[in-house]
Amino acid sequence: MTIKYAVEHAGWEVIWARQDKSLVAIDFEHDFVGALELYEKIKKAGKPLATLRCKNIGFAPPEKYENKMEAYNHQGVWWCPYCMKLRRFELRAWAEIDDHLYRIDPERFCPICDISQGDHNICLYNPAARRIRDKPKRLRAGKSSKRGKRRR
C-alpha cells in the first residue's frame, strides 16, 4: 500500500468517551486534516479514550512493537490496526447486528472500534489472533455418522 493510496482512500473517524461513558463517533469520510484537527482538540480537552481511527485501512504497528507482539498478545493486549494503538481486547459471547444481540462463539473485540479478532488485519499483526483463526474446530461429542457395528 502506498502513501498516496492511503491518503486518497482512507476513511477517518474520531471517537471519544462522554462523561456517562458512552462513545461519540464523528465520521470525516476522506478528510484526514479535519479529523486530525478535531482529534487534537479533543486530546487537549482531556477527553478519555480519544482516538483517531481509520475505518477501512489497517496500519502496521510501529517497529518498536513488532518483536514484542507475541508477549503483548500473551498478556491480552492486541494491536488494533484501525485505532493504531495497543488495546486490551474484550472477550464477548455476543454480537450486535442491526440493533439485535446474537449469541456467538466467544471472540475478542477492540473496545473502541468494535472490530473482531477474525478481521484480516487483526490476524496479520497479532500472532494470537492467527493461532485462534487457524486452530482446527473440534467436533462435538455425540453420534458419529459411522456406526460402531456393521449390520449384516
3-state class (DSSP) for residue 3: helix
**Side chain identity, residue 134:** D
Pairwise CA distance, residues 82 & 122, whole Å: 9
pTM for this entry? 0.76
Pairwise CA distance, residues 81 & 124, whole Å: 9
pLDDT at 104: 77
Q: Is the pLDDT of residue 147 over 60?
A: no
Maximum CA extent, the chain: 81
Pairwise CA distance, residues 114 & 103, whole Å: 16
| Arithmetic mean of pLDDT over the chain | 85
pLDDT at 85: 93
H or E stretch covering 69: helix 69-74
pLDDT at 92: 84
| pLDDT tens-digit series, residues 71-126 | 999 998 999 999 999 999 998 887 777 888 888 778 889 988 889 898 999 999 99
pLDDT at 64: 93
pLDDT at 22: 87
- Give the three cell numbers for residue 20: 456517562
| Mode of pairing for the β-strands spanning 23-27 and 12-17 | antiparallel
Pick from 113, 139, 128: which is nearest to 25 by CA?
113
| pLDDT tens-digit series, residues 43-55 | 999 988 899 999 9
